[in-house]
Structure 1
Amino acid sequence: MDRPVTVGVDGSPSSRRALDWAADEAALHGRPLRIVHASVWERFEGATPAEDLPDGRTETAALQEIITNAESRARRRRPEVRAHAEVLPGQPVDVLVHAGEDAFALVVGHRAHSALMRHLSIGSTGSGVAARAWCPVVVVGDSAAEGSSADRQVILGVAEGTEAEAAHVSFALREAHARGCDLVAIHARSRRGMQETRHDSPGLGSSLAADALLSAAVPAEAALECDVIVHRRVVDGPAHHALLQATQHADLLVLGVRHRHGAIRRELRPTHHAALRHSPCPVALVGVPWPN
């Protein structure tokens, strides 16, 4: 059975944007679409309460409306995609992480919060899922633009220690190929690397090392095999600045996330949080192995 593109919905505008993106992704890769809504009430004896909501509906009717509307929306947008919606019992993060175990990709929305909540990283299902899921997670934020950009690029963040053919590199190449667009691989040199460059005898040591890192991370052979044109860029300064600037006209930003062997959570670093909060395009977080 084909692994589905799985998307979490709750009836909010951010989840509708995630649903639209997931439907497009399923069509792009010829995958079925699984639409999931998490209900805490379903945990209690497998039933929702019968009390009326303020608008006169019961909880059961409200849940049914969410999944029915979501399934109809997906089928209107992409009639060629096999879509199925269901309600699963449990907390949203737990439900989505479990639902993503057999997913081609797991798509979630990400709502903007108050300045205090952003500072404390509180209240984000998207961040919670991204930190715990083992499959690729695509977070579609409030600022994500509708449809593909005119420039049609997939942006790949390459950090130090990225192994050739790492999972997130393969994911980025696959997405660029499916979209028929170029892949832009970006490595941001640290402040120390910039200082080393200024003190090197010919002044090129760190630059050459950074170029070699990018070439090893995204081998020419892999790009040729995927029929994708790859642009490799070394930039100076903080990674999140460089990546956010590059995503102004991009279809997708792909970042690797370290996952320690046996650990429950993946390590979301400041660059990941900045991308999730501020990227103007969807952000894909893909697990990469932790170096021994």
Structure 2
Amino acid sequence: MEAMNTGTRSITVGIDGSPTSLDAADWAAREARRRRLPLRLLHAGTGPAVSGRVPDVDVPAGRTRTALDRAAIQLSYAHPALDIIARRTGTPAVQALLAAAADTETLVVGSRGATGFAGFQVGAVALAVTARAERPVVVVRAGEIPEDERAPVTDGSPPESAPYLPVVLGLDAGRPADALIRYAFDTAAFRSAPLHVVHAWTRSEAYARGARVPGPENTAERGDGDGNGDGNGDGEGRALAGALQPWRRRFPGTTVREHVVQGHPGPHLLRASARAGLLVVGRETGAGPGRAVRSLIRHAPCAVAVVPHG
């Protein structure tokens, strides 16, 4: 399995005391365990800075435990083998999270931040951070639980023994991005989960690229096998297969399915996310997430990873 080489090896999560941020923190803890990385908890807001390493979180006599203290202690009990570092800063939330993102492998935030992040409106912090962060940002929806990442259990076995649901990657085969593809393959490999890659195209985009536009058949799927699949052999399918071929070789243990669909990506990815443990989408460095990505952050039923590239 290949590991990402993205600077400081850690997972960082923003904590504001809201239930959504605690759901995000638990997701981040599970991801840190999967990747065998330390977990950093960051609370941004006014007041004196307090830092500590968990499980030895020192709470001085006379000081009430903060939301950060409580989150750190809860996570240390739930994940006793995890190295957890808690830090509080008076820097405004978006600024603090963007600075943290530059020094971590993945930044995790809740989809609906409460008032703890300096009065930002619901969802504003997540959208602002995903638009500008230098590293991947995972937005975790409210109410996310560990079972949501795994296949349903029907035989009475423990939920944690169930296989992981697929990781879904939204990819433009005409503009493949190594950072985006690597993140998706890496994540699927750490979970031993299948990777489903969705390439949505429109006729106008295909004509602009000079690709041959297929006839009535508008959907093709390619499985593992020999790469020939059962698709219609159009240029879009070949472009996707070519973009993924070197990554299949690097991650031979990951089951990959390619889906070539006609239309705009948002609706197709939203449908795919209903059967996914994680949705991975990209944005070009220096540009904010497009309308489709913003809609997926708001409406996808699973966590969404937004990966800057280019």
Alignment RMSD (CA, Å):
3.0
State the partner residue of 2:301. Answer: 280
**How many positions carry a matched residue from both structures?**
258
State the partner residue of 1:76. Answer: 77
Question: What's the TM-score, normalizing by structure 2?
Answer: 0.75
Aligned residue identity for 2:269: L
- 146-155 vs 78-87, greater mean Cα deviation: 146-155
Does the residue aligned with 1:31 lie in a helix, a strand or coil? Answer: coil
Given that 1:144 and 1:279 are in contact with CA atoms closer than 8 Å, whether structure 2 keeps it comes out as: no
In 2, Cα distance between equivalents of 1:37 and 1:25? 19
Please report how far the alpha carbon of residue 192 of structure 1 lies from its aligned counterpart in structure 2 after TM superposition.
2.8
Q: Map 1:38-49; keep pairs closer than 5 Å.
A: 38-42=44-48
Cα distance change, pair 100–201 in 1 and its aligned pair in 2 (3 A): closer
State the partner residue of 2:126. Answer: 126
Per-residue CA shift, 1:64-86, capped at 9, x if unaligned? 42111111121122111100111
State the partner residue of 1:107. Answer: 108
1:153 corresponds, among 150, 166, 173, to 166
Q: Do residues 217 (structure 1) and 243 (structure 2) align? A: yes
Cα distance change, pair 202–34 in 1 and its aligned pair in 2 (3 A): closer
State the partner residue of 1:10. Answer: 16
In 2, Cα distance between equivalents of 1:217 and 1:28? 27
Per-residue CA shift, 1:190-214, capped at 9, x if unaligned? 2535899xx9586689962211221
State the identity as a percent: 30
Q: Do residues 35 (structure 1) and 48 (structure 2) align? A: no
In 2, Cα distance between equivalents of 1:269 and 1:191? 20
In 2, Cα distance between equivalents of 1:252 and 1:259? 21
Aligned residue identity for 2:292: T
Cα distance change, pair 171–61 in 1 and its aligned pair in 2 (3 A): same
Q: Do residues 65 (structure 1) and 66 (structure 2) align? A: yes
In 1, Cα distance between equivalents of 2:29 and 2:214? 53
Structure 1 regions of 5+ residues with no counterpart? 48-59, 114-120, 261-265
Aligned residue identity for 1:153: P
Please report how far the alpha carbon of residue 163 of structure 1 lies from its aligned counterpart in structure 2 after TM superposition.
2.9
State the partner residue of 1:244. Answer: 270
Q: Do residues 254 (structure 1) and 280 (structure 2) align? A: yes
Does the residue aligned with 1:10 lie in a helix, a strand or coil? Answer: coil
Does the residue aligned with 2:234 lie in a helix, a strand or coil? Answer: helix
Does the residue aligned with 1:218 lie in a helix, a strand or coil? Answer: helix
Question: What's the TM-score, normalizing by structure 1?
Answer: 0.79
In 2, Cα distance between equivalents of 1:201 and 1:217? 19
Given that 1:7 and 1:107 are in contact with CA atoms closer than 8 Å, whether structure 2 keeps it comes out as: yes
